[in-house]
Amino acid sequence: METLVKGGGLIVLLVLAVLFPQVFANPAVTNYGILALIFATAAVAWHIFAGNTGYISLGQAVFYGSGAYAMGVAARDWHVQGTSVFELLPLSGAVGAAIAIPFGLIALRVRRHTFIVVTIAVFFIFQLMAFNFWFTGGSSGLGSPFLSWAPVPYNQNFYYIALACTVGSVVVAWLIGRSRFGLQLRAIRDDEDRARGLGVKAMRVKLAAFTISGAITAIIGAVWFYYLNQVHPQTGFNPLFDLTLVLMVFLGGFGSISGAVLGALIIEPLTQWMNTQPAFSGSISEVIIGAILLLVVLFMPRGIVPTGGEFITKIRTRGRPAVIPATTIGPASSASSASSVSSGDAR
């Protein structure tokens, strides 16, 4: 019964998402949808790796930009025209995966803060390669092939492509979450050494998640490149990209797929929309966004989804006798895993 309702709810969501550009056909509105879905895909991809393993990666832009550049180079050198560019998307995924393997083999040998900095370092190396290599167009960047769609169908088509990517990545993330593979990832998150001791092949497992995450991010990077028609080293490899992803996921709730999606769907349209209001344009919008973030963090420190879940549970269980979950007071990481009822979703 529960699964039926759960499934039904998700189908309703999907139908709403599909109908959205038909109802709101204005390109300015669908544009929000496109950008939000692009970030939602990237956020779910980030979650697949970082949310499950607990390794905070600030290097996803490496894949995003590489996917974009791979498409640009391929389209230019193979003289791809028009809509056949979309056939190249799987290639960008392959490029992302190919980069993730050596990247992961190096970076995943270290943990925690060191890992974060290594991902930042690799990011800058890639940005510089985009500036300096002969085939990347240098500081002038690359352009994408011309798509002759009118504004409304242009945005609608990109919307559905981005939606497909988001749905695809959510499905992948969900499947991983339910599988033994996902269990191994979360074991690494809880306590890597203990997981190792229990027989989890940590490096292989981490690398697999890292590669999947990289492939998805590369694909959505290529989609973004086609949408914007141009990529430059500073925009394809944008240092703020990863920070934005992290914010989205933490805002929504670290460790859950719906948290990642929710965070992206809130932050991206909100920040974009704010700058289109002349009253907020300029430095005021930064102050406002900063203030909003602060308020959310102070009142919902674990993110919206977990706090929202807690809140709803509180309402549902009002009047019932209090149940005291068996929590243990210990080091930070296992404390939050023990408070199982109200913490982030396992997915």
Site residues (CB under 8 A) for another protein, limited to 192-251? 227-230, 232, 234-235, 239-240, 243, 246-247, 250-251
Complex with another protein: residue 94 or 266, whichever CB lies closer: 266
Query: Which of 267, 240, 273 has its CA nearest to residue 60?
Result: 240
Strand partners, 142: 231
CB of 335 to another protein, least distance (A): 5
Contact by Cβ (8 Å): 216, 224: no
Other C-beta atoms closer than 10 Å to the C-beta of 262 total 22
Burial class (CB in 10 A: 0-12, 13-18, 19+), 98: middle
Among 278, 320, 321, 324, the residue binding another protein under the rule CB under 8 A is 278
| 161 interacts with another protein by CB under 8 A | no
Taking the complex as a whole, the smallest distance from the CB of residue 198 to another protein amounts, in Å, to 18
Question: Angle at Cα 218 formed by Cα 161 and Cα 252, nearest 5°?
Answer: 75
- Binding residue for another protein, selected from 90, 102, 194, 273, defined by CB under 8 A: 273
Figure out which of the listed residues 98, 168, 181, 342 binds another protein, where binding follows CB under 8 A.
342
Q: Decide if residue 182 touches another protein (CB under 8 A).
A: no
- Any contact of residue 122 with another protein (CB under 8 A)? yes
Q: How far apart are CA 211 and CA 261, in angstroms?
A: 20
For residues 123 and 242, is the Cβ–Cβ distance under 8 A? Answer: yes
29 near another protein, rule: CB under 8 A: yes
By the rule CB under 8 A, 43 interacts with another protein: no
Rounded alpha-carbon distances, angstroms, from residue 149 to 26, 68, 81, 158: 15, 21, 13, 11
Interaction of residue 91 with another protein, rule CB under 8 A: no
Contact between 179 and another protein (CB under 8 A)?
no
Task: Between 171 and 312, name the residue whose CB sits nearer to another protein.
Answer: 312
**Is 260 one of the binding residues for another protein (CB under 8 A)?**
no
